[in-house]
Structure 1
Amino acid sequence: MSSASPARESRQAASIDAIVALTRADMEEVNGMILAMAGSNVELIPEIAKHLISSGGKRLRPMLTIASAIACGYKGDGHVKLAASVEFMHTATLLHDDVVDESDMRRGKKTARTIWGNQASVLVGDFLLGQAFKTMVEVGSLTALDILSRASAVIAEGEVWQLSAAKKLTTTESDYLAVIEAKTAALFSAASEVGPVLAGSPSETREAMRSYGLNLGRAFQLVDDVLDYRGSAKDLGKNTGDDFREGKITLPVIIAHERGSEPERAFWRRALEENGNDDDALAEARRLLDRHGALEATVTRARSYGETAYAAAASLPRSEARESLLDVVDFCIDRIN
């Protein structure tokens, strides 16, 4: 993100290579723990869990937990267990999301709900959440448990809030930003904060990493909102245009609707509130988003959140881990380039 990191403009492209390399050994332990946590005598549970776990994804959230712990000088192994818990929380959320959104594809593969049905997907998601909290307890940090359990409740609230706002063009920008803070940014924030908690870092460091994760999560979701209309399935991890087809009111839509004429607002009502969301409608939606600069306005907001996240991580002592956390911010924003 050039505005936040001018010294990094010379790099060919932002990437997460540094955090992947930094956390590789610990992530191997995390992956092993995830497979063990997914084990059950009930055959369907590991079958569904492994389907989603093996479907790809960068596992960014658990890497944030590990990198933040390393950046704060933590020397134990509790960060591995918390990282596995964070990934299971995220995986459970994906299972539940796909049911709520009636999604057929995720990361280029059929969703669990299309293979095993909605009931199995929801119940296995519940099992994964239970395993996540069981593992958190094993770490023995009540503060870390408090942070992650609060995040779990906030995420659920965000999902319900988003469901209630679906197909409602009365949703305001502030309402939507509150939804993504709960639905997406809360887990980024918790994943980043528990590292310094384990390290016994001072409150200022915890606050910095909480802010880092929160604003990174906000930026991450807004970039996803943009990619849904102008990205690729590879970038997004699901089919582009899915938000539109599902009637989701995202920030680009809110901006275009507010800036549009009455005939244009009528189009958005037909498309999103009345399910007139075929391929021709999607093409028209993209034209209107471009006409009113809605995608660029969303990008600008994402960059602003990214700058805040960058500044928060930059307050840590200089280290390889700190640099890797800064790289993640650049990578998140550069997905739209």
Structure 2
Amino acid sequence: MKAYRLLDFRSLDDLQQCEEETPRPQRGEVLIRVRAVSLNYRDIAMLGNRYPLSHRKGLVPTSDGAGEVVDVGPDVHDFKIGDRVVGLFHARWFGGRMPMYSNQRGYGSENDGWLCEFKVVSQEAVVHMPDNLSFEEAATLPCAAVTAWNALSGTAQIRAGHTVLIQGTGGVSIFALQFARVLGASVIATTSSAAKAERLRQFGASEVINYQEEPHWGERVRELTQGKGVDRIVEVGGPGTIAESLRAIAPGGEIASIGFLSAQGAGIDFLALFGSLATFRPFSVGSRETLEDVCAIMAMSNIKPAIDRIFEFNDARAAYAHLDSGSHFGKVVVRC
């Protein structure tokens, strides 16, 4: 089979395609013909050695994939040959609290990921795909969609009448916009592009703020909400955006912290955090249970993931470069 391995963390040249033996499933495992893989910012960060968690050289990269079961090992009862499946981001987090070891066993960071033609995984590490999605669409779910849903529902469910703030036009932010609208909430979005602002409005954002023109966009959010602030912020920026998020959040609201796209910045001011009277909740994606919820939502609401561009397997490097350019709207996918 063909597979990619990330041999070092210096440049795209370290992403190398190679020929490897096709694995065979053992007891409780399934063999998946990988049909599509989606990229996340963590993949770009790893490539440049900026990923804040442990990551090893020489692994098959990427964490998100979808495909078809082509073989099963003994004692596999949940799946059969021909089933269409999508993988978990955290392969051994099934529900409840996140196991303490989950981030130490991540695909593409500590274990081989999905950028390959065939992959063996435990039957517990995949779920059935929604029938209304293609492999390319389903491959966007494990990280971005699960993270977005967790951000909106993890502690207190967003509901009709609430206001949600999303940052930028990456996969998590667009999924959060789509889910928030399904739940009946209004959405304020930030971006630096007039063209992207128009697309955000087409996806249902009620207000869009250009953060290049209004760098203190937290104040603008207050104006748009008659001084109250927003009920939930899907915080993907990190140190570069948290100060404005603290200005924008309503007392009793929640900042769901899930990213580090803006590594440069002053970070958290304790007095600003304390004075916001809001909850700051960092978390890492979600469990199998959350992915199952997401699949049900995608099917019932007929939501289609926003895919910016699909690249062929041999063009995986170009997919990485396109994501790294920051010009994308939604997800970047590699067809395997």
TM-score using structure 1 length: 0.24
Q: Which has the higher helix share?
A: 1
Q: Which has the higher strand share?
A: 2
* Structure number with higher relative contact order (C-alpha < 8 Å, ≥ 6 residues apart): 1
TM-score using structure 2 length: 0.24
